[in-house]
Structures are given as C-alpha cells and as structure tokens.
Amino acid sequence: MTDSRRADPAATGAGVLLAAVGLTAACLRSPVTAVGAELGSLRAPAALGGLGLGALGAGVLTAMPLAVFAAAGLVAPVVVRRVGSRAVVLGGLAVIAVGVVVRAAAGSVATLLAASVVVLVAVAWINVVLPPLVGPRSPWATGVFSGGVLAGIAAPAALAVPVGSSSGLGWRGGLGVWAVVAVAALAGWAVAGRSATEPSSTADLVTRPITLADRRRPVALAVFFGAQSLAAFAVMGWLPQVYRDAGIPSGTASLLLAVTVVPALPAALLLPAAVRRGHGTALVVGIGAAQVLGLAGLTLAPAGGAWVWAVLLTTAHWGFPLAMALIARRAAGDPTRLSAQVQGTGYALAVVGPLLLGPLHDATGAWTVPLALLGVAALVQIAAGLCITLTDPAPAPIPVAPDAPTLPLPALVTEDRS
C-alpha cells in the first residue's frame, strides 16, 4: 500500500515552509554571534591579519545589535506597508548575504561598522515581520522560528573560529561563511512559493474584538521581551568571562556557554504548544525562577557549581521562544505592528545591559553587582509575564488561514479550551 502521507503536497509544502523559516531565523543571530567569536582576531593589529579594532570600536560593535534592533524594528511596519511582508523577508535575506560578505572583506574598521549596520537593519526587519507572517500558516512555525534563532546563536559560537582556521581565511572566513545560510534560506522561500507567505484573504483569518486588556498588553509584552533579551545577551556576552575570572579554563568556559544554548533548542519547539495549552503562567514563573537560582549560584560559588548554574541559565534563552509564543497568542489588531512595538521597545530596554555590566564590574572589581542587576531583571520578567498570562487566560485561537498547509501534530499541540 502506498503511504499517502509521503505524497501529500500539503504536508510537503508545510515542511518546505518550516525549513525556510528555520534557515531564515538562523540568519538573524549568526551575524552577531560570529563577530563575538572573532572579536579577538578583529582587534589584532593589521600586521597580524586583524583590523586593529580598538576598545571603543569593539564596544560599539558589541552594543550595536540591540540598538539597531530597537530603532529599525520600530519602523518595520512602515516598510511593510510600502513593499509588503514577502519583499521584506526576501530582500532582507539578500542584504544579509551581501552584507556579511562585504563585512568579511572589510579593509577598515569604518567598512566593518557600516556593513554591520546594514546587515543588522535587515535582521531587525525580518525579526519583526517573520513571526506574524508565517504563524498563521503552520502551528509549528513559531517554535521553528525560535529554534532557528537559537541555532544561529550556538552554531557560530562553536564553528566560526574553526571554520576560519581550517579555510585559511582567518576571521574573514569565520564571518563570511554565514552568507551561505542566507542563500539557502532564499532558496527555501523560492521552493515554498508565494502562497507560503500570502494567505488568499485576510478575511479568512480568525479575529476578535480589541479589548482593554489588548491595549495594555503590548506594554507588558515589551517589558517581558526587554528583560529576557537583556538576560540572554548578557549571558552570551559575559558568562565565559565570569567563569574565567573564577579560575575556570577558557575552553571549559566556552563549553559552559554552549551548555546554556543547546538545551534551549528543543524547548523552542515545545514552548509554543505548551503556551497554547494554557501553561503560560507556569512557564513564566518556572523560567524566571530558574534564572534567579542560576544567577545566585553563579554569584556565590561560580566554580563549585559551574555546570549546574549553566544548566539553570539555559532558561535565559528560553525566554525568547516564550515571548514569541505570548505575542502569537494575541489575535486582535495588527500582529506586525504589535511585533514591532514589542521588539523595538524591548530591545531599547535591553541595550542597558551591555552598557552597564562591564562598567559595574570594573567599578566594583567583582561580578556581584552585575549579576544582582540581572537577578532584578529576571524578577521584572516574571512580573511582566504574569501581567500577560493572568489577564488573558482564554484568548481566541491563533489565526490560521483555512488554505494553509500544516503538518500532522501530536496530541501535545492542542488549543487551550479552558
């Protein structure tokens, strides 16, 4: 008997769509993480193959992503109204592919910074547009998007330096290789076709009236998103240094950073389904509490319980898929505008982290105060998350276009019927 599932064009189309979403999402962090991995090489003198990037340039380069994400994200709806969502995604991927190559070939710090700004603007626009664009097309899309973002953090952190070294191109190879992912994402969208990102009619989507809670929720979502972004970027940027200062070898410190990211990948796929089943409140509290415990342990005994704290701090990365799932639950109004408001404002709040943690450490000579600041941010994250989940216990189902292809789902993926 022929297996009809193998020949089902709807399932095949959904699979191609999800592959395109995952590859695109990976492009939204790899340009950032690859720079962090190659920062030491970029700071080397030109005679040694670097660009001679000074302390100021390094500070600008590392703080730039959050600042650009905040500014560019807020204007994304204007761009969408002018050119359309699909054009933003495809054009953005093309810009990322070219910009990453230009940055890798940069002969000066000015070129490096300018190319980075262009790439990050494209990243910010896709970051805002993609979740509400594909969410109605598949119940798996939000989880795949979040998983792709996390993969874009982990892969360059582990592979940028080895790839650059093995290719003989050094930091240029470590930065430039990620253009391949953007090209692969473009190919995925070409195969998926136009229907993957353009429902036949917006009137087909399930909607509901905008309530008072809907009008207040963007503020709570922005605070939640900002707090989780601050924690995630702080862990990515500073955790290895905290461990190194505690006497842990650099190689082990880098491995501990990877431990915080890898477990978040399967969580990214499962969290949206758990939120749809009505477990948002438990997730908000559990994820926030784990972050507080991990930060407390890191403060009191960074070396003694290093692996335990790293496992607990993986929840700093769980906050992103949880935030995406909470945004997706809101079916009223303009989802692209909501995504822009939440991400733009949230990233603006999160930029405080990279700007304060280093100076606080230098001023106090220890990590106690910076880690306490992150603990406060985790508590704020819990409070904002509860404002979201407790004020809307039974929202309308996520809008789904009736002609959208979907993959068969396990029993875990069901709508909240409470």
Would you list the DSSP string of 1-25?
---TTTT-HHHHHHHHHHHHHHHHH
252 and 341, same domain (yes or no): yes
Tell me whether residue 203 is in a domain.
no
**In the prediction, which pLDDT does 2 show?**
47
Q: Give, rounded to a whole angstrom, the gap between the first and last alpha carbons of the chain.
A: 41
**Rounded-to-integer distance, Cα 158 and Cα 161, Å:** 7
Last-in-domain residue among 198, 221, 245: 198
219 and 119, same domain (yes or no): no
183 and 221, same domain (yes or no): no
Tell me whether residue 36 is in a domain.
yes
**In the prediction, which pLDDT does 157 show?**
73
DSSP 170-195: THHHHHHTTHHHHHHHHHHHHHH-GG
62 and 86, same domain (yes or no): yes
**In the prediction, which pLDDT does 397 show?**
47
Please give the single-letter amino acid code of residue 412: L
**In the prediction, which pLDDT does 144 show?**
85
- Tokens 């906050």 — which residue? 319
Tell me whether residue 205 is in a domain.
no
**In the prediction, which pLDDT does 216 show?**
61
Q: Which two tokens stand for residue 67?
A: 């600042």
CATH of the domain at 238: 1.20.1250.20
Tell me whether residue 5 is in a domain.
no
Q: Where are the alpha helices (DSSP H) in 277-334?
A: 280-300, 306-312, 315-329
- 300-to-260, 286, 306 alpha-carbon distances in Å: 19, 21, 11
Tell me whether residue 405 is in a domain.
no
**In the prediction, which pLDDT does 408 show?**
43
233 and 170, same domain (yes or no): no
256 and 178, same domain (yes or no): no
Cβ atoms of 141 and 21 closer than 8 Å: yes
Of 205, 225, 251, 210, the closest CA to residue 401 belongs to 205
Q: Per-residue pLDDT for the chain (418 aa), expressed as one digit of tens each?
A: 444 445 455 556 677 888 888 899 999 888 888 877 777 777 777 766 777 777 677 767 777 888 888 888 888 888 888 888 888 899 999 999 999 999 988 888 888 889 999 999 999 999 888 887 777 666 777 788 888 888 888 788 777 878 888 888 888 888 888 999 999 999 988 887 665 555 433 333 334 444 444 556 778 888 998 898 888 888 877 788 788 888 888 778 777 877 888 788 888 888 888 887 888 899 999 999 999 999 999 999 998 889 999 999 988 888 888 888 887 766 455 677 777 888 888 888 887 776 777 788 878 888 899 899 999 999 999 999 998 888 764 444 444 444 444 444 333 333 443 3
**Rounded-to-integer distance, Cα 257 and Cα 325, Å:** 25
What total of structural domains would you count in the chain?
2
Of 375, 378, 374, 264, the closest CA to residue 324 belongs to 264
Domain of residue 45: give its range.
11-198
pTM attached to this predicted model: 0.74
